[in-house]
Structure 1
Amino acid sequence: MSHITLVLPHLLPLPEFASDLVRALQTPALASLLTRTSTHARSAPADTARALPHEQWLARALGLAADGQPAFAAAAMRGFGLDPAAGTWFIVNPAHIQIARSHSMMADLRHLGLSEDESRALYEATRPLCDEVGHPLLYGDAQTWFLRADDWTGIDGATPDTVVGMDVTDFVPRGKQALPFRRLQNEVQMLWHSHPVNAAREARRLPAVNSFWLWGASRDGGRAAAPLTSVGVPGWIRGLSGRTLASLDELDAALARDGILVVGYLADAAIAADWGTWLQQVQQLEDKLFAPLHAALVQGRIKQLDLVLSSREALAEFTTTAMAQRKFWRRPTLERLT
Structure 2
Amino acid sequence: MSVVTFLLPAPARFGAQRWLPDVARAFGRADVATQTPGRRAQLARHVDLPDGSWPLAALSRQVDAGDAGAPETAWLRADPAWLRPDINGVRLMAHGDALGVSTDDCAALLPALQEMFADAGFQLDAPVPARWYLRLPRDTRLPAFPDPSDALGTDLSEFEDTSPDARRWRALGSEAQILLHNHPWNAARAAAGRPPINALWFWGGGTLPEARAGGGAAPRQVYTDDATLHALAAGAAGAQALPSRWPDLDLDLDPGAAALFDLSALRDLRQLQADWLQPALAAMKRGRIAVLTLDDEDGGVFALRRWHRLRMWRAPRTPAAAKPS
How is 1:1-338 mapped onto 2 (pairs within 5 angstroms)? 1-10=1-10, 12-13=11-12, 21=16, 24-28=17-21, 30-37=23-30, 39-43=31-35, 45=36, 53-64=38-49, 66=51, 68=52, 70-85=54-69, 86-109=72-95, 112-121=98-107, 122-123=109-110, 125-150=112-137, 152-219=140-207, 221-226=208-213, 227=219, 229-233=222-226, 235-241=227-233, 242-249=238-245, 251-252=247-248, 257-266=257-266, 278=267, 281-311=268-298, 315-325=299-309, 327-334=311-318, 336-337=320-321
Local SS of the residue matching 1:77:
helix
Aligned mates of 2:20, 2:131 — CA distance in 1: 35
Aligned mates of 2:106, 2:223 — CA distance in 1: 24
Structure 1 residue runs without a partner (length 5+): 46-51, 267-277
Decide whether the 8 Å contact of 1:98 with 1:106 is kept in 2: yes
Once the two structures are TM-superposed, the CA of residue 152 in structure 1 deviates from its matched residue by 4.0
Which structure has the highest helix share of the two? 1
Q: In angstroms, what is the RMSD of aligned CA positions?
A: 3.1
Once the two structures are TM-superposed, the CA of residue 95 in structure 1 deviates from its matched residue by 0.9
Which structure has the highest strand share of the two? 2
Structure with larger Rg: 2
1:295-327 deviations in Å (ceiling 9; x for gaps): 22122222212221123xxx1112112222454
Structure 2 residue runs without a partner (length 5+): 214-218
1:260–1:247 CA distance, 2 compared to 1 (3 A): closer
Once the two structures are TM-superposed, the CA of residue 97 in structure 1 deviates from its matched residue by 0.5
Once the two structures are TM-superposed, the CA of residue 215 in structure 1 deviates from its matched residue by 1.4
Decide whether the 8 Å contact of 2:291 with 2:305 is kept in 1: yes
Aligned mates of 1:28, 1:109 — CA distance in 2: 39
1:79–1:110 CA distance, 2 compared to 1 (3 A): closer
Percent identical pairs in the alignment equals 24
| Counterpart code for 2:85 | I
1:329–1:8 CA distance, 2 compared to 1 (3 A): same
1:33–1:154 CA distance, 2 compared to 1 (3 A): farther
Local SS of the residue matching 2:99:
coil
1:213-259 deviations in Å (ceiling 9; x for gaps): 1112224x2133124624342x3223223323154247445967523
Once the two structures are TM-superposed, the CA of residue 331 in structure 1 deviates from its matched residue by 4.7
Local SS of the residue matching 2:73:
coil
Local SS of the residue matching 1:96:
strand
Decide whether the 8 Å contact of 1:36 with 1:330 is kept in 2: yes
1:203–1:137 CA distance, 2 compared to 1 (3 A): same
Aligned mates of 1:87, 1:42 — CA distance in 2: 37
1:10-47 deviations in Å (ceiling 9; x for gaps): 2x228xxx9x83xx41434542452222x21124x4xx
Aligned mates of 2:82, 2:209 — CA distance in 1: 30
Aligned mates of 1:142, 1:254 — CA distance in 2: 37
Q: Counterpart in 1 of 2:216? A: none
TM-score (norm: length of structure 2): 0.79
Deviates more, 1:126-135 or 1:291-300: 126-135
1:298–1:217 CA distance, 2 compared to 1 (3 A): same
1:167–1:336 CA distance, 2 compared to 1 (3 A): closer
1:336–1:183 CA distance, 2 compared to 1 (3 A): closer
1:155-176 deviations in Å (ceiling 9; x for gaps): 1101112212322133244333
1:119–1:69 CA distance, 2 compared to 1 (3 A): farther
Once the two structures are TM-superposed, the CA of residue 126 in structure 1 deviates from its matched residue by 3.0
Aligned mates of 1:332, 1:261 — CA distance in 2: 24
